[in-house]
Amino acid sequence: MTKLIRIGLGALGVGAMSIAFGSGTALADDYAGQSYSDASSAISGAGQKAVIATSVGDGVSQGDCVVTRSQKASWLKGDNFSPVSDTVLLYLNCDAKLATAGKAGNSLASPEGRAEKASEDEEAAKEAAAQQAAQQQNESSELATPGGD
């Protein structure tokens, strides 16, 4: 019986420690997933400076690179060693959104690649439907014209 009480108290102690010290939850990243041009515009609009910390790939132009994460600058400046508070570091992925032969990008096996492929397929289906509707409109207007060849 005392062994059961000790185990219970141990579990209770571990639970209390996890509540007291937190579980290390991550903060949301306001710029992750945005293009560099959109993120840098938003950062400038907030009165801060966007600085590229790292950039990988060369499949797209810099403005179209995707921000994978961002963070506030963590360095000190000046003779009085004041912390930098107006700079946001951006980490960029400049590979294509979807890999093709000879061009780096997200694999179709990855969640990002599947999402991009689904988006491309949806856009292609919308374009095909619009073209089909325009073709049907042309055919019906030709049939409605009297005396047409």
pLDDT, tens only, 4-18: 565 555 555 555 555
Which sign does the torsion angle of CA 30, 31, 32, 34 carry? positive
Q: How far apart are CA 122 and CA 115, in angstroms?
A: 10
Q: How far apart are CA 60 and CA 102, in angstroms?
A: 14
Q: Would you tell me which CATH number, out of the four given (3.10.180, 1.20.950, 3.30.10, 2.30.30), belongs to the domain 26-95? A: 3.30.10
Question: Model confidence at 24, in pLDDT bands (50, 70, 90)?
Answer: very low
Lay out the sheet containing 49-56: strands in order across.
Answer: 49-56, 87-93, 66-72
Q: How far apart are CA 59 and CA 57, in angstroms?
A: 6
Res 25: pLDDT = 44
More confident: 17 or 64: 64
Tokens of 129: 């439907």
pTM over 0.85: no
Q: For the segment 86-122, what is each residue's pLDDT rounded down to a tens digit?
A: 999 999 999 888 888 888 888 889 888 898 899 999 9
Q: How far apart are CA 141 and CA 1, in angstroms?
A: 90
Q: How far apart are CA 29 and CA 98, in angstroms?
A: 23
